[in-house]
Amino acid sequence: MGRPGFIAAAAANPHPQEPSRLGLAVRCKGGAVARNLVKRRLRAAFRQVEPAAGYDFVLRADDRVLNVEYSTLVEELGSALDRAAGGGT
């Protein structure tokens, strides 16, 4: 599912009772500093969203994530993870 600055994909974890995990693939024109900032923002938003247990999520993101307000990022990430896990329309 595509969102401004990132795409989410999910796969069921073979141990459904375990917490969901996050993998990141980030591309930025601003170099390592911008790339690490995108990763920090996405990890923090992922912790705040608290997705359903038992999934492995992968986010492919770029530097557009830096132009989105944090509250909007959390909302969009929650929606994208829900859809990627099959819970949304």
Q: Within a domain: residue 40? A: yes
CATH of residue 61:
3.30.230.10
Domain hosting 6: range is: 2-84
Q: Within a domain: residue 71? A: yes
Residue 15, judged by CB atoms within 10 A of its CB (0-12, 13-18, 19+), counts as exposed
Q: Within a domain: residue 72? A: yes
58: which 2 tokens? 């992968």
Model confidence pLDDT, tens digit, residues 2-32: 567 889 999 998 888 999 999 999 999 989 9
Count of domains for the chain = 1
Model confidence pLDDT, tens digit, residues 27-72: 999 899 999 999 999 999 999 998 888 999 999 999 999 999 999 9
